[in-house]
Structure 1
Amino acid sequence: MKIVIDSGCDLTKEQCLELGVTMLPLKVQLGEKTYLSGVDLTSEEFYDLLDQTEQMPLTSTPSVGEFADTYRKLAETDPEILSIHISSGLSGTYNAAEVAAQQVDASITVLDTLTLSAGTGWQVEAAARAVKAGWGKAKILEMLKQIQAASDTYFTLPDLKYLIAGGRISHLKGLLASLLGIKPIIQVNKTDGKYYDIGKKRSFLKAIQEIPELILKKYGEGAAFRTQIVHASNPEGGEMLRDAMNKVFRCEWVADSLLGPALGAHTGRGMIGLVHAPLAEFPQLP
């Protein structure tokens, strides 16, 4: 079985190679130039460019044709394909992959992870390990369903202008929050894969500290989690969140993930996020 992914899962080239997955990059346009996210533009290069321009970045998905060409090439050696993608509630990537799958004579299953970044990356890693262990597609999909149900993604950010420009939050609501200096805590909803504002604070630091407090209300002190920090070129903020989590919970940490250009185009530099899942609910990986 072959696995196809998009760069919105924020796995590095080295991780993709190790996992044996085929990655189609999302695209980022800055000014007159278009880049392939994570291919010819690294995360740090992107945030540096973003700091140097007043123009808002634009993003786009791989085309239906690019997906179809990739599926056909992979099907030459293995007709069984699992295509895993970031939330259809936030990107058109899943829909493009679905259309392409109908055009190719192969057994292609397209999965909507209903999340993004490291949340999607967890599902990709689990699927790739299962393929190497010889699991069938049905068993893999059942495991991914368990990971989806167990995992939650939260984030906060110092500046809302990129989310507003990208249409990820309403212009009026975002503008009002910006004028009042409010920093939202946002959760990716597991039902529709969209962003929902679940808390607000008057400073970015307080918003970071609020994430463990929200988790505490649901699970109680001392809960054990599989946990990963995601940040947009803000390792210091990541350390603040890690320290706050460690004071309240027992965390098994996955190495930090740097938010890629295509997703960073909607947050700007500084975003701090967290993916977590209760260890008791997270399936045993092969």
Structure 2
Amino acid sequence: MQKVAVVTDSASNLPAELVQRHHIFIVPVLLYLDGRELRDGVDITAGEIYRYMTASINNHLPKTASPSVGEFIRVYHIAAQNAEEIVSIHLSANLSAIYQVANLAKEQVPVKVHVVDTHTAAMGCGFAVLEAARLAEQGADAEAVIRRAREIAGKARVIAMLPRLDYLQKGGHVPAVAALAGSALKICPILTVAHDQARVVELPRTQERAVRRILEMLERDAKDRPVHVAVMHAGVPEQAEELRREVAERVQCVELFTTEFTPV
């Protein structure tokens, strides 16, 4: 029995092979599509969602919701079968209600659960989860695992390119005026997420320029130091692989993953 089991949610975007290899427990975010409740990564994959969105005549988007308290309790019970304590690591509480739901659930299970807000999102959170799980596998206690997760999350930076602002606007993630401006100007905004803040940092006019600027920003931030990088994509694996190769050529990667960004 390990001292600590590590739990996260599907919005951390961790590749499935890493989840399995490091025995990470995932609480799936919920999607509502055509009257059906679906669990992200269980009942439907990110790729299937993107194909649905592309084929939809009206660009219909699935609704999303945080996992229920009951789903957290179910996963906590499973994780507790082989661990003394649980460290539950999630994206920023400023960006989602998942952190609050996890805190409600932890009061209803017999095992000690520590809920960690990474103050970041996607693989920024994912890398914190991954390092926490690796440390837990080595027999570390909850305090050390939490400290490691917070350390990695504090260093993480998510850089995103958004060729389609209308999807985010429909999902309630950007104001309608911003989406209209993006559509009218044909811009491809670059956003960063770090320390609880998501902000637009540049407004390239084309996707090609946006990719070039992301690579330049990565090189600048790396400063010849070894880095951990994940290339996330929204249903475009070929473009992601091309970007992954460019990243590998430009910076010294300790590890370099490609993963599909879950639209939740």
For the aligned pair, the TM-score class normalised by the smaller chain equals 0.7 to 0.9
Q: Which residue of 2 aligns with 1:228?
A: 230
User: Quick check: 2:120–2:156 contact (8 Å CA) kept in 1?
Assistant: no
User: Quick check: 1:209–1:244 contact (8 Å CA) kept in 2?
Assistant: no
Q: 1:30 to 1:142 in 2, by over 3 A?
A: same
Counterpart residue type for residue 23 of structure 1? I
Q: Which residue of 2 aligns with 1:45?
A: 48
Q: Which residue of 2 aligns with 1:198?
A: 201
Q: Which residue of 2 aligns with 1:188?
A: 193
| 1:128 and 2:133 aligned | yes
Q: 1:73 to 1:144 in 2, by over 3 A?
A: closer
Q: 1:11 to 1:242 in 2, by over 3 A?
A: closer
Residue 18 of structure 1, CA deviation: 2.2
Alignment of 1:1-286 (within 5 A): 1-53=4-56, 54=58, 55-75=60-80, 78-190=83-195, 192=196, 194-218=197-221, 220=223, 222-246=224-248, 248-260=250-262, 262-263=263-264
Moved more, 65-74 or 154-163: 65-74
Question: Could you state the TM-score of these two structures normalised by the residue count of structure 2?
Answer: 0.88
Query: What is the alpha-carbon root mean square deviation over aligned residues?
Result: 2.2
Q: 1:76 to 1:143 in 2, by over 3 A?
A: closer
Question: Could you state the TM-score of these two structures normalised by the residue count of structure 1?
Answer: 0.82
Q: Give, in whole Å, the separation in 1 of the partners of 2:55 and 2:131.
A: 38
Deviation string 1:73-98 (CA, Å, 9 cap, x unpaired) is 54465441111112222221111001
Counterpart residue type for residue 33 of structure 1? R
Deviation string 1:199-250 (CA, Å, 9 cap, x unpaired) is 1100111111111223445555x44422221111223332443455455433
- SS of the counterpart of 2:189? strand
Q: 1:239 to 1:14 in 2, by over 3 A?
A: closer
Moved more, 170-179 or 133-142: 170-179
Residue 187 of structure 1, CA deviation: 0.4
Residue correspondences, number: 259
Deviation string 1:233-271 (CA, Å, 9 cap, x unpaired) is 2233324434554554333442211112x43xxxxxxxx
Counterpart residue type for residue 257 of structure 1? T
Counterpart residue type for residue 231 of structure 2? I
Q: 1:81 to 1:224 in 2, by over 3 A?
A: closer
- SS of the counterpart of 1:88? coil
Q: Give, in whole Å, the separation in 1 of the partners of 2:20 and 2:64.
A: 25
Q: 1:251 to 1:116 in 2, by over 3 A?
A: same
Percent pairwise identity: 29
Counterpart residue type for residue 140 of structure 1? V
- SS of the counterpart of 1:71? helix
Moved more, 22-31 or 232-241: 232-241
Gaps of 5+ in 2: none
User: Quick check: 2:92–2:99 contact (8 Å CA) kept in 1?
Assistant: yes
Gaps of 5+ in 1: 264-286
Q: Give, in whole Å, the separation in 1 of the partners of 2:82 and 2:232.
A: 35
Counterpart residue type for residue 30 of structure 1? L
Deviation string 1:110-153 (CA, Å, 9 cap, x unpaired) is 01122232222212221111111011111112212221122211
User: Quick check: 1:90–1:168 contact (8 Å CA) kept in 2?
Assistant: no
Counterpart residue type for residue 228 of structure 1? A
